[in-house]
Amino acid sequence: MLRYISKRLLYMLMSLFLIVTVTFFLMRAAPGGPFSSEKQVPPEIEKNLNEYYGLDRPWYIQYFDYLVSIAKWDFGPSFKYKGQTVNDLINEGFPVSFFLGMESLLIAISIGVLLGIIAALNHNKWQDYAAMVFAVLGISVPSFIMASILQYFLAIKLGWFPVARWESLQHTVLPALALAAMPMAFIARLTRSSMLEVLGNDYIRTAKAKGLSQGQITVKHAIRNAILPVVTYLGPLSAQILTGSFVIEKIFGIPGLGSHFVTSITNRDYTTIMGVTVFYSILLLLSVLLVDIAYGFIDPRIKLAGGKKGE
């Protein structure tokens, strides 16, 4: 296990290096500059700003300095938010996005897995059809449309929840539901197909022949083996949902990491774009690693050794 984790950490560092490099040069290739705007900046001021932020130096020096800064966990100053660094923006916005993401993740996993199990245990019955219709709707409707529907019916028409803002626990319900709708539907379909496959195996028939109840078979044998595809999906999903949905945070006026990212793009705040991208990449790589390690605990038949999974 230690050898596997060490090798994966090495691969993560290599992947992160490539991500940082590609992001840096894509930002340099983008048209315009961090001080370009509708209001023309005088050339003298722009020259002083470029000199102050080190943008007048050769690209290879800027690239090397940025790699050193990333190694020190310093993403540099923000061009848009005066007096703040990108680290400040991440420290400010990530806890909000993390709380919203955890709430959405819990909703998506709990309801999605439950719907998938119910659909599989009632295959080709009305419960199965109802759950799959719900899942298809969840996958088909974009999150921003779902957010607007929830705001209109549950907030404006019924008045059950606030329309927007981030002030209390009640304000988190609608954005969490909107953010959880699509992954919840996908998890439901994934759980259903995996459960149907597991329920057709020989050891399930053996358990039935021994006289075990449907509940015992489902809990002790079926769910544990059927949940592995869901765990695989949770790796990238967790990184994506915990860093915040850019669109959802904008719609509900949530001061999360996604909101800062959208603002940085519209204002050509290159350091913020690169910093949030690198931060997101680290979370994604760590999530995938944790998912791979979790395999061994969920299914003891899976052994991790030398960077390979074998039975």
The CB-side HSE value for 10 (13 A sphere, CA atoms) comes to: 8
Rg (the chain; Cα; Å)? 24
For 80-134, write each residue's pLDDT tens digit. 777 788 999 889 888 888 888 889 889 999 999 999 989 888 888 898 899 888 8
Is the predicted pLDDT of residue 249 greater than 80, yes or no? yes
Say which residue, 153 or 32, is predicted with more confidence. Answer: 153
pLDDT given for residue 111 in this prediction:
92
Is 172 within 8 Å of 150 (Cβ atoms)? no
CA distance 253 to 231: 31
pLDDT given for residue 1 in this prediction:
66
CA distance 95 to 26: 28
For 168-178, write each residue's pLDDT tens digit. 888 889 999 99
The verdict on pTM exceeding 0.75 is yes
CA distance 15 to 9: 10
Say which residue, 119 or 211, is predicted with more confidence. Answer: 119
Say which residue, 224 or 69, is predicted with more confidence. Answer: 69
User: Exposed e or buried b for every residue in 167-206, given b needs 16+ CB within 10 A?
Assistant: eeeebbbbbbbbbbbbbbbbbbbbbbebbbebbeeeebee
Is the predicted pLDDT of residue 306 greater than 50, yes or no? no
The dihedrals phi and psi of 79, each to the nearest 5 degrees, come to: -80, -25
pLDDT given for residue 36 in this prediction:
64
pLDDT given for residue 40 in this prediction:
66
Q: What angle do CA 6, 8, 9 make, to 5 degrees?
A: 65
Is 107 within 8 Å of 57 (Cβ atoms)? no
Helix (H) or strand (E) holding 284: helix 270-298
Q: How do the domains of the chain map onto residue ranges?
A: 94-266
Q: In this structure, how many other beta carbons lie within 10 angstroms of the beta carbon of residue 306?
A: 10
Specify which of 78-82, 182-186, 215-219 reaches the highest per-range mean pLDDT: 182-186
Helix (H) or strand (E) holding 309: strand 308-310
Of 48-52, 275-279, 307-311, the poorest mean pLDDT is in: 307-311
Is the predicted pLDDT of residue 71 greater than 80, yes or no? yes
Is the predicted pLDDT of residue 24 greater than 70, yes or no? yes
Could you tell me the fold of the domain covering 94-266? Answer: MetI-like fold (1.10.3720)
Chain CA centroid to CA 131, Å: 24
Q: In this structure, how many other beta carbons lie within 10 angstroms of the beta carbon of residue 294?
A: 16
